[in-house]
Amino acid sequence: MTFRFSVLIAAAGSAALLLGALGFQFIGGLAPCHLCLLQRWPHLAAIAIGALALATQQRIFALFGALAAAITAGIGIYHTGVERGIFEGPTTCTSGPPGSLSSEQLFDKIMNAPLIRCDEVAWQMLGLSMASWNAIISLILVGFWLYAFKRSR
């Protein structure tokens, strides 16, 4: 497999994941949470990096592409942990039990709560959420980027 083909697969993989997420949002009606949105930006960067790598044939871009894919994989792993209750999610898109909150604090929490929660799985396949699939596929894309780096001259 050549540098060019590896970069093409890696960038196309990010494009496919990004288009899939947009499809779930605009066709499937699944609004993204805050962490879902964060996972999209590195894919967009990887697509742009892929275009630059193909245009210039510079191997450094393969490392930048691998970094972008690794970042979205890391966010996906964190998001999966939030969904499974392993990690505490950002306060902007998760909420815990009322505990010892005063009625005023609880009211403020309810009124300021986001509509889409990061700690609830909106869709899953084979027991894995979209965040989990993003992490797995993105790690595979990291491999393609690193292979491209190795194959470059």
- Residue with the bigger pLDDT between 60 and 90: it is 60
DSSP SS3 for 118: coil
Domain, as residue range, for 10? 3-89+99-151
| Residue 50 domain flag | yes
| Residue 10 domain flag | yes
58-61, long-range: CB within 8 Å, 24+ apart, which pairs? 58/152, 59/3, 59/148, 59/149, 59/152, 59/153, 61/7
| Residue 94 domain flag | no
Q: What share of the chain is helix, strand, coil (3-state, %, to 5)?
A: 65, 5, 30
Q: Residue 48 corresponds to which amino acid? A: A
* pTM more than 0.75: yes
| Number of domains making up the chain | 1
pLDDT at residue 111 in the model:
65
| Residue 127 domain flag | yes
pLDDT at residue 35 in the model:
85
- Residue with the bigger pLDDT between 4 and 115: it is 4
Which of 15-19, 37-41, 65-69, 96-100 shows the lowest per-residue confidence on average (mean pLDDT)? 96-100
Tokens of 66: 């691998």
What CA–CA distance (Å, rounded) separates 69 from 28? Answer: 25
Q: Tens digit of pLDDT for each residue in 1-10?
A: 888 899 999 9
| Residue 66 domain flag | yes
**Domain CATH number, residue 14:** 1.20.1550
| Residue 28 domain flag | yes
- Residue 96 pLDDT more than 60? no
User: In this structure, what are the phi and psi dihedrals at residue 71, rounded to the nearest 5 degrees?
Assistant: -65, -45
